[in-house]
């Protein structure tokens, strides 16, 4: 069953096309990585899903129209953006009191449990916390809400590597229980590869790639090819090629592993390398196609 479904979703700002008639479907109980360069349309798509802006086309989130039924939808949806919007003057304890008072699905004891794993003191004000701590606090509040959909927009932007790892570890180990759906929009591809169950690339307002991680692992292969094998490898029509020390690395779609094995070392490509290949192909910079 679809948690999010869009058909012909379009958003323009004057002459600028932010979303160019996209179709997408996000199944329930999955973790989707929505990946794209800056300005690709990630945030606009999320804002439409959250009911924060009007749009053309059809969009349903958990069966609701987010623009006209946003109040009802927000009971089941949580959101974390790249800039935490927690009031700077409030103390941590006051923030817990406030959320407990306004959200019917907030479990304060669960939030306290998450915070116990951090160094955040209850008497500290938000403005006294580092950016990493604010993100941890925001995540603790969100994870304590029994929501069906969590939307994250560049949630670790500006954080150091330790906080980024802690964030995704907490998300995967303490929050996701296979009864929730998570959408993570980012351009930091390598951070979410071990977290997501599905991946979607967006570029210039269009969805250009949509696969489950199982499909990625079964369909796409990368080969480190020695110079003497390069011609034979290129004859198999790779979708992308890049240079490396001692040879070339070619990326293939749908070519049998046994056929590639004599050409060099075969491996599953990283999402980052696949992203470069697909987006480069869209921009006319590489051979082949990501069919």
In degrees, rounded to 5, the angle at the alpha carbon of residue 130 between the alpha carbons of residues 129 and 134 is 70
Q: How far apart are CA 169 and CA 158, in angstroms?
A: 17
pLDDT in tens, the chain (291 residues): 799 999 999 999 999 999 999 999 999 999 999 999 888 999 999 999 999 999 999 999 999 999 999 988 988 999 988 766 788 999 999 999 999 999 888 999 999 998 998 899 999 999 999 888 888 898 899 889 989 999 999 888 877 888 888 888 888 888 888 789 999 998 888 889 999 999 999 999 999 999 999 999 999 999 999 889 999 999 999 999 998 888 899 999 999 999 999 999 999 999 999 999 999 877 765 443 344
Distance CA 48, CA 257 (A): 41
Total-model pTM: 0.88
Specify whether the CB–CB gap between 182 and 110 falls below 8 A. no
Strands (E), the chain: 2-13, 16-27, 31-35, 56-61, 77-80, 149-153, 181-186, 198-203, 206-212, 220-225, 240-244, 247-253, 264-267
Give the whole-angstrom CA distance, residue 224 versus residue 178. 37
Distance CA 276, CA 229 (A): 23
Q: How far apart are CA 290 and CA 252, in angstroms?
A: 9
């Amino acid at each position: 069953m679809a948690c999010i479904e869009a058909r012909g979703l379009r958003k323009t700002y004057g002459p600028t096309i932010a979303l160019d008639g996209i179709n997408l479907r996000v199944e329930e109980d999955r973790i989707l990585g929505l990946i794209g360069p800056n300005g690709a349309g990630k945030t606009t798509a999320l804002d439409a899903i959250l009911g924060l802006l009007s749009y053309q086309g059809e969009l349903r989130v958990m069966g609701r129209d987010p623009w006209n039924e946003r109040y009802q939808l927000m009971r089941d949806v949580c959101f974390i953006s790249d800039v935490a919007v927690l009031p700077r003057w409030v103390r941590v304890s006051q923030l817990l009191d406030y959320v407990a008072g306004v959200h019917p699905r907030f479990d304060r004891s669960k939030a306290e449990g998450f915070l116990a794993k951090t160094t955040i003191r209850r008497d500290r004000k938000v403005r006294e916390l580092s950016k990493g701590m604010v993100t941890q606090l925001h995540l603790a509040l969100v994870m304590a809400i029994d929501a069906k959909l969590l939307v994250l927009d560049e949630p670790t932007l500006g954080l150091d590597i330790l906080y980024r790892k802690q964030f995704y570890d907490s998300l995967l180990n303490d929050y996701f229980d296979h009864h929730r759906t998570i959408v993570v929009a980012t351009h930091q591809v390598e951070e979410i590869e071990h977290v997501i169950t599905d991946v979607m690339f967006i570029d210039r307002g269009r969805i250009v790639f949509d696969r489950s991680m199982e499909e990625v692992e079964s369909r796409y292969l990368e080969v480190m090819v020695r110079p003497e094998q390069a011609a034979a490898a290129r004859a198999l029509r790779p979708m992308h090629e890049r240079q490396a020390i001692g040879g070339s690395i070619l990326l293939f779609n749908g070519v049998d592993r046994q056929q590639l094995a004599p050409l060099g070392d075969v491996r599953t490509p990283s999402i980052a390398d696949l992203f470069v290949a697909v987006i480069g192909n869209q921009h006319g910079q590489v051979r082949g196609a990501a069919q």
